[in-house]
């Protein structure tokens, strides 16, 4: 009885409290990356800036994160229609593409090292690429943890038309990560 009272109380909110916390985290992350990109622009203007090519794997990683975002959105559509098998499939695909993105970032860093682009205080242009892509990767890993919880729930048929709040939150966060990566990639490409 008490859980039904709590559930009714939660339904009275304009925005669910857990969604509100998610949005606060997203706003904080936007501010963090705005700080990084602002510092990048200011430091670039001071000189001693080495121009180098971004790893070609960043292109593939961009495609992987976009496809992953599409896949997880399809899982939400399937959940609203109680298509449990499709929910499992699409979350699983999104998760695997996210893992692929992580490995892609690792190999992109290896490509940078092979091109003699190192994380070094003597050349900030190099370091910014590692820091920006590394902090984004940390956010992706957090999203994958969240998505793995959704995958377990999907495998247990616990995500359906009436129980998709956390999937909705996971999708919101994952879309944010995807949009953030596209912004960061374009920023790094245009402001080399």
Q: What is the 3-state secondary structure (H, E, C) of 79-108?
A: HHCCCHHHHHHHHHHHHHHHHHHHHHHHHH
Beta bridge partners of 123: 120
pLDDT tens digits for 73-92?
Answer: 999 999 999 999 999 999 99
CB atoms within 10 A of CB 78: 23
Residue 109 neighbours by CB under 8 Å, 6+ apart: 55, 130, 133
pLDDT tens digits for 6-59?
Answer: 455 555 668 889 999 999 999 999 999 999 999 999 999 887 788 889 999 999
Q: What is the DSSP letter of 163?
A: S
pLDDT at 5: 46
- Tell me the CATH number at 152: 1.20.120.80
Domains: count for the chain:
1
What percent of the chain has a predicted confidence (pLDDT) above 90?
78
Give the domain extent around 12. Answer: 2-190
pLDDT tens digits for 141-174?
Answer: 999 999 999 999 999 999 988 888 899 999 999 9
Confidence of residue 107 (pLDDT cuts 50, 70, 90): very high
Residue 160 neighbours by CB under 8 Å, 6+ apart: 79, 82, 84, 87
Mean pLDDT score across all residues of the chain: 91
pTM equals: 0.90
- Classify residue 141 by burial, with Cβ atoms within 10 Å: 0-12, 13-18, 19+: middle
């Amino acid at each position: 009885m008490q859980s039904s009272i709590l559930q009714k109380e939660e339904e009275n909110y304009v925005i669910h409290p857990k969604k509100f916390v998610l949005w606060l985290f997203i706003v904080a992350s936007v501010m963090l990356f705005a700080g990084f990109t602002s510092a990048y622009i200011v430091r670039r203007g001071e000189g001693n800036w080495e121009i180098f090519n971004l790893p070609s794997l960043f292109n593939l990683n961009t495609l992987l994160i976009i496809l992953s975002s599409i896949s997880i959105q399809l899982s939400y559509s399937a959940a609203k229609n109680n298509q449990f098998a499709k929910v499992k499939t699409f979350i699983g695909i999104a998760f695997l593409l996210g893992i692929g993105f992580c490995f892609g970032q690792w190999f992109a860093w290896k490509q940078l090292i092979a091109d003699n682009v190192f994380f070094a205080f003597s050349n900030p242009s190099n370091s910014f690429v590692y820091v920006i892509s590394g902090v984004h990767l940390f956010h992706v890993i957090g999203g994958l943890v969240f998505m793995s919880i959704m995958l377990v729930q999907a495998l247990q048929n616990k995500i359906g038309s009436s129980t998709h709040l956390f999937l909705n939150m996971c999708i919101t966060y994952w879309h944010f990560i995807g949009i953030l990566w596209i912004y960061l990639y374009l920023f790094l490409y245009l402001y080399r």
